[in-house]
Structure 1
Amino acid sequence: MKRRNFIGTSAAASVGFLTTSAAIANNRKTDTTAKLKYNINHSVCYWCYGTIPFEDFLKNLVELDIRSIDLVGPDEFPLLKKYNIHASMCWGAGMGIEKGWNDLSLHEELIADYERVIPLVAEAGYTNLICFSGNRNGMDDLVGLRNCAKGLRQLMPLAEKHGVVLQMELLNSKVNHKDYMCDTSEWGVSLCETIGSENFKLLYDIYHMQIMEGDIIRNIQDYHQYYGHYHTGGNPGRHEIDETQEIFYPAVMKAILKTGYTGHVAQEFVPSWDDKLAALKQGVTICDI
């Protein structure tokens, strides 16, 4: 499963976003000497750095003291163990972003697939497994919500037995994922309430929700009990989370901490710098409040 069209479109969108500080960072080596506070449990989505071989990337994470990685599956678990890197958000089940739980005709296959992967995640010692609503395709949102709940409820006993939390990602349907159904906190929270299990949460992507609804800190304060994981990204452009974009991430991180959150925050911006690891280090440092 790949993030649809992100890497190709992001390269074109990067023109005009490099600031003087970013240009300087392109020409320096990644600073690995600063120690992270780790009030925030840091992670990173590998797909944003896919030009770096996976094992090399894990070695880089060790050097950067980034102890977790997002969006990896059972095939990658052995290498994670080798480098003592935690899988903070797993994937490997489902049919991708566009075909999801709102389609009743897919439930049989989806249930079988998640029943296969949930034990693998638990056996490896991990907790979180991503899922998606799917696109609307003309479906009413309430119907889609009921369909999602009907299918996901069938997995809750297995998820609860294995201590695995299924997390549906909130994505924007304005820019990147046209027609995606789970595109607001309100819809996602309603689904959580309908399912009624602590083993179903929302993956709150700050970039996507800035596009769809804004009011990031208030929503975190109001709905944090339903958010089981966080992703970052600079808006506009989904690049670095520094002064080149509109979200002030230190304040967002402080708001997350104030809720008592102890999970992970994963960097999911597409680097526009030549030195991608320097960009990653900067993003983690910004969030390391």
Structure 2
Amino acid sequence: MHEDNSRRNMIKKVATMALASTALSSLTERVSAHDKAVGEPLKGKINHSVCAWCYDIPLDDLCVAAKKIGIPSIDLVDPKDFAILKKHDMTCAMVASNGKEWGITRGFNNPAHHDKLEAYFKHYIDETAKAGFSNLICFSGNRNGLSDQQGIENCTKGLQRIIGYAEKKKVTLVMELLNSKVDHHDYQCDHTAWGVALCKSVGSANFKLLYDIYHMQIMEGDVIRNIRDHHQYIAHYHTGGVPGRNEIDETQELYYPAIMKAIYETGFKGYVAQEFIPSHADKLASLNNAIHICDIS
């Protein structure tokens, strides 16, 4: 009996060691594969950018880190910081236009703002063109009781005051689609259909949309269909995990490789910018992972 028990114990030990060895080998292979992927050049089907505001580090340091990953652009940089981008040979795929007076809640849907917005945006158009950049963000503003149709009419009147100037300077004004359900209550440009209707009303190839995947998943879902149906009105994309706006990995509901494939298949030549808020301590590792998730074959 004693001999049988010893034999059983030995078999258990051997089996346990074999299982541990197999698990370790599998883990080693996965880590090795990940390290190899990180070290390889990006495949080039998606032009990558990253939003500066998501990372609490100096812009100089973000530029250095982004270049190491293979990101050539930083999004939402103000003209006063263009010199930092130029120093690192970086571009700005989407120029910021937020100021103390103008931004998400106060935009083109209020005619009372149009005179000041005209002067304000002509200055930003000049700065964008001078730097050799091409996309300048803008916003509808909050509804404040406006109907959808009145909002479109008001935005059209305001934008048409500057769109000819933007065309001459070869700058595209890009209005961001944001959710009004969770993050930006009462914001008017909160559905793809509304943004597309505004594009048609303005009637210029120099006015398009920033399709924020995070925001539109919250508001309407059907992300890939909307991208396929309306891609001609989209100049730029932002990412973010849903819910929470954190990493775009398996911890959230969107499958970004499929979304990137759909974007690529539309013939899109612009940029996709990471705009998630990293939840991990190593924020740049989260950024690196996100870029490789979007780096489709």
Scaled by the length of structure 1, the TM-score of the pair is: 0.88
Q: What do the CA deviations read for 1:152-179 (whole angstroms, capped 9, x no partner)?
A: 0111111110110000000000000000
Pick the aligned partner of 2:69 from 64, 83, 98: 64
Amino acid at match of 1:39: K
Q: What do the CA deviations read for 1:53-105 (whole angstroms, capped 9, x no partner)?
A: 11111111121121111000111111101101110000136601000000110
Matched, 1:166 2:170: no
Q: What do the CA deviations read for 1:207-257 (whole angstroms, capped 9, x no partner)?
A: 000000000000011000001100000000000001000100000000001
Shift of 1:148: 0.3
CA distance in structure 2 between the aligned counterparts of 1:178 and 1:93, rounded to whole angstroms: 18
8 Å CA contact 1:93, 1:114 repeated in 2: no
1:4 alignment partner in structure 2? none
8 Å CA contact 1:93, 1:110 repeated in 2: no
1:247 alignment partner in structure 2? 254
Alignment of 1:117-156 (within 5 A): 117-156=124-163
Pick the aligned partner of 1:192 from 174, 194, 199: 199
CA distance in structure 2 between the aligned counterparts of 1:97 and 1:153, rounded to whole angstroms: 19
2:58 alignment partner in structure 1? 53
CA distance in structure 2 between the aligned counterparts of 1:66 and 1:231, rounded to whole angstroms: 14
2:286 alignment partner in structure 1? 279
8 Å CA contact 1:32, 1:63 repeated in 2: no
Runs of 4+ in 1 over 6 A off after TM superposition: none
Amino acid at match of 2:141: G
Pick the aligned partner of 2:266 from 250, 253, 259: 259
CA distance in structure 2 between the aligned counterparts of 1:98 and 1:92, rounded to whole angstroms: 13
CA distance in structure 2 between the aligned counterparts of 1:215 and 1:189, rounded to whole angstroms: 16
1:69 counterpart SS class: strand
What is the total number of aligned residue pairs between the two structures? 264
Give unpaired runs (5+ residues) of structure 2: 1-26
2:87 alignment partner in structure 1? 82
8 Å CA contact 2:97, 2:103 repeated in 1: no
8 Å CA contact 2:142, 2:188 repeated in 1: yes
1:11 alignment partner in structure 2? none
8 Å CA contact 1:93, 1:113 repeated in 2: no
Q: What do the CA deviations read for 1:178-215 (whole angstroms, capped 9, x no partner)?
A: 00000000100000000000000000000000000000
Give unpaired runs (5+ residues) of structure 1: 1-20
Higher helix content, 1 or 2: 2
Pick the aligned partner of 2:50 from 44, 47, 64: 44
2:74 counterpart SS class: strand
Amino acid at match of 1:81: K
Alignment of 1:194-233 (within 5 A): 194-233=201-240
Matched, 1:35 2:41: yes
CA distance in structure 1 between the aligned counterparts of 2:111 and 2:274, rounded to whole angstroms: 33
Shift of 1:33: 2.1
Aligned-residue RMSD, C-alpha: 1.9
CA distance in structure 1 between the aligned counterparts of 2:246 and 2:98, rounded to whole angstroms: 28
Q: Which has the higher contact order (CA 8 A, sep 6+)?
A: 1
CA distance in structure 1 between the aligned counterparts of 2:217 and 2:295, rounded to whole angstroms: 21
Greater Rg by CA: 2
2:64 counterpart SS class: helix
CA distance in structure 2 between the aligned counterparts of 1:239 and 1:208, rounded to whole angstroms: 13
8 Å CA contact 2:38, 2:292 repeated in 1: no
Larger mean Cα displacement after TM superposition, 210-219 or 134-143: 134-143
Shift of 1:38: 1.7
Scaled by the length of structure 2, the TM-score of the pair is: 0.86
